[in-house]
Structure 1
Amino acid sequence: MWMLLVGLLLWSLVHFIPSATPSLKQSWIAKTSDKGYMLSFSILIISSLCLIVFGWRAAPIEFVYTLPQSTKPIAVVLMLIASMLFAAAKQKTNIKRVIRHPQLTSVLVWSIAHLILNGDSRSLILFGGMCLWSLWQIYFINKREGAWSKPEPVSWRNEIKVLLVGGVIFVILALIHPYLSGVAIV
């Protein structure tokens, strides 16, 4: 369980550097250059992901709660929404007129969907941790950036593109999920 916790802590702390402590980021860049910062940031994030994956697999499973099977469709719909939000993050879309941080919101929705389906101790740590991380990250970024300036409206064609890309992401995740976690989505 310690690897999972260390991985989540490393993931969170490294991501909090640019959002919560921009001066530390600038100091890091000054010491290592832009490329050095990006390389070391990437290495730390990849290391945190490895710790999370290996920690997840090694963690003992102790069941804390089990929700009724009837909640599975809710979780699947939430995963579809998370895929759409993830797709919207790098696109010009009206979703950004409603949700300031679609990518972080997608992590939040993804976490909630997984907490609905998984009531074991390692799931509570992983998905609960990612849920809290995304909320804190949104808070820190909002604090750093100040008042939100909503983007201009865009064409409905952009929305269709986001829906299609989000649908493709969802299908790909549904197909590879059994290989990643041993559990089929649908």
Structure 2
Amino acid sequence: MEMLISGVLLWSLVHLMKSVTPGLRASIQSAIGEGPHKGLVALILLGSLALMIFGWRSATPEFVYDPPTWGRHANMTLMFVAILLLGAAQGASRIRQWIRHPMLTGVLLWAIGHLLANGDSRSLVLFGGLGLWALISIFTISHNEGAWVKPVKIASIGRELLSLVIAAVLYAILLFVHPWIAGVPVIAG
């Protein structure tokens, strides 16, 4: 479980540096340069992902709470919405007219969905920890940026439909690879 906790903390701390401690981030960047700083951050984030994946797979899940019977179905729905939001964060989208931080909101929905479907200790650490990181990030980034200025550029209907198709394909791929990533099948055979 220590590996999983370390991975979640490392991911969260590195991401929160920009919005919580911008002075510290800037001083590190000026000391080692922008390129090496980006490389270091990328390596740390890859390391944190490895810690989370291997930590998840090696942790023994212990019962913490009983998820609702409808939680698994809610998670399946929230996952599609989360994927759609992650895509909306990548470019022009009508979704960005309604949601200020679509990527972080997608991560938050991913976390909530998984907490509704799972009631074990490792789920609480991984999904609760990353959900909390996403929520804190939404507030700190919004505070630093000030009043929300909605994007002027919106996507065409064709682009929005393409986003739905891409989200559906990614959703199907995730259903297929989930057992190999998490060690847990999404659909029980």
TM-score (norm 2): 0.92
Cα deviation for residue 103 of structure 1 reads: 0.6
Report the counterpart of residue 77 of structure 2 in structure 1.
77
Pair 1:68–1:135, CA change in 2 (3 A)? closer
Cα deviation for residue 78 of structure 1 reads: 0.5
Report the counterpart of residue 45 of structure 1 in structure 2.
45
Which digits, 9 at most, give the CA deviation of each residue in 1:23-48, with x for residues without a partner? 22221211111110111001111111
Report the counterpart of residue 59 of structure 1 in structure 2.
59
Kept in 2: contact 1:91–1:162 (CA 8 A): no
Report the counterpart of residue 180 of structure 2 in structure 1.
179
Of all paired residues, the percent bearing the same amino acid is: 43
Whole-angstrom distance in 1 between the partners of 2:20 and 2:98 = 23
SS of the residue corresponding to residue 27 of structure 2 reads helix
**Correspondence 1:33-182 to 2 at 5 A:** 33-152=33-152, 153-182=154-183
Cα deviation for residue 171 of structure 1 reads: 1.3
Q: Which amino acid letter does the alignment assign opposite residue 102 of structure 2?
A: P
Which digits, 9 at most, give the CA deviation of each residue in 1:79-136, with x for residues without a partner? 0101111111112001001001111111000001111111001111110001100000
SS of the residue corresponding to residue 74 of structure 1 reads helix
Aligned length: 186
Which digits, 9 at most, give the CA deviation of each residue in 1:43-78, with x for residues without a partner? 111111122122222222111223344332211000
Structure 1 gap segments, 5+ residues each: none
Structure 2 gap segments, 5+ residues each: none
TM-score (norm 1): 0.94
